[in-house]
């Protein structure tokens, strides 16, 4: 039993050290206090713009790490030194709250998103109502890319929508699962696949891809983005968190195709 526990502890340590190797070179760039923000891959373009704007007002190093919310949450749980977590999924934040890593009082829901079906075939007609569509006929023998349906938020929502529409069983073998939503997009851009289910904000960034239709909100769990201040003892992290959830900043996210939460 002791050997088993030791082995598990070693695996956890290896994971922490590996992740530390990825971020340490960046952390060593400056001696000034820095803010490390872990953010869902779908927020990259918008958050990069927000960070750039913030740097014009305040000389502080903001270091973003982008990946799927699942990957980031697991790394935070393993001890990664994130100051802020911007997730595309509430359950992963709830998980960290249950673990005592994040305080609910330091979490605020700031963004919403839509789920869309996209294609790199510009000749296909748009779809007004998914409930009247047979996806096996629409896809023919082509594959459809989405996030990993067991852990990546975009993939979880995609499967929920297809299950609701009674389409999942018919096309599940044609699904190509990606480690995050941006990877799924790259599959379409490279023409490795012809269809994808992604966030509307991601499709907004790639006009060469065509949005065939928007999934109704009731077909899947709400797509909302909670922002959490993990390290409130850091003054710089606290200041950037307040900036991140401000009305001014949320307008920047809207410019990148996100929807804001009423009252944010």
Q: Are residues 242 and 163 both part of a single domain?
A: no
Domain boundaries, position 43: 2-112+225-260
Q: Are residues 6 and 100 both part of a single domain?
A: yes
pLDDT tens track for 43-96: 999 999 999 999 999 989 999 999 999 999 999 999 999 999 999 999 999 999
Q: Are residues 205 and 231 both part of a single domain?
A: no
The pair of three-digit structure tokens given for residue 141, joined into one six-digit string: 């023998």
CATH number of the domain residue 141 falls in:
3.40.190.10
Question: In this predicted model, which residue has the larger pLDDT, 25 or 92?
Answer: 92
Domains in the chain, number:
2
pLDDT tens track for 195-212: 999 999 999 999 999 999
The pLDDT mean for the chain works out to 89
Helices (H), the chain: 2-27, 44-57, 69-77, 90-98, 135-139, 153-164, 168-171, 181-189, 200-204, 235-244, 247-255
pLDDT of residue 30: 42
Q: Are residues 50 and 130 both part of a single domain?
A: no
Q: Are residues 6 and 83 both part of a single domain?
A: yes
Q: Are residues 41 and 95 both part of a single domain?
A: yes
pLDDT tens track for 95-137: 999 999 999 999 999 999 999 999 999 999 999 999 989 999 9
DSSP assignment of 190-234: TTS-SEEEEEHHHHHT-TTSEEEEE--GGGS---EEEEEES-TT-
Strand order in the sheet with 144-147: 175-178, 144-147, 195-199, 115-119, 210-214
Q: Are residues 127 and 254 both part of a single domain?
A: no
Cα torsion through 174, 179, 183, 185, rounded to 10: 50
Q: Are residues 171 and 238 both part of a single domain?
A: no
pTM: 0.81
Rg, the chain, Cα only? 19
d(CA 111, CA 149): 21
């Amino acid at each position: 039993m002791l050997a088993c526990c030791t082995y598990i502890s070693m695996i956890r340590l290896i994971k922490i050290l590996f992740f530390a190797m990825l971020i340490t070179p960046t952390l060593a760039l400056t001696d000034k206090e820095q803010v490390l923000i872990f953010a869902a891959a779908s927020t990259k373009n918008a958050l990069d713009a927000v960070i750039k704007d913030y740097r014009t007002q305040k000389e502080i190093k903001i270091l973003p790490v982008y990946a799927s919310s699942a990957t980031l949450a697991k790394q935070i749980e393993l001890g990664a030194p994130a100051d802020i977590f911007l997730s595309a999924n509430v359950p992963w934040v709830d998980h960290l709250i249950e673990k005592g890593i994040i305080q609910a009082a330091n979490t605020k829901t700031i963004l919403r998103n839509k789920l869309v079906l996209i294609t790199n075939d510009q000749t296909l007609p748009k779809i007004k109502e998914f409930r009247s569509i047979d996806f096996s006929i629409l896809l023919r023998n082509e594959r459809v890319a989405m996030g990993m349906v067991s852990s990546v938020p975009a993939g979880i929502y995609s499967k929920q929508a297809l299950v609701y529409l009674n389409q999942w069983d018919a096309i599940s073998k044609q699904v190509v699962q990606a480690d995050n939503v941006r990877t799924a997009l790259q599959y379409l851009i490279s023409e490795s696949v012809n269809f994808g289910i992604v966030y509307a904000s991601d499709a907004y960034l790639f006009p060469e891809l065509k949005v065939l239709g928007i999934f109704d909100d009731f077909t899947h769990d709400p797509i909302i983005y909670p922002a959490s201040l993990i390290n409130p003892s850091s003054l710089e992290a606290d200041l950037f968190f307040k900036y991140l959830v401000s009305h001014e900043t949320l307008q920047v996210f809207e410019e990148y195709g996100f929807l804001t939460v009423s009252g944010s």
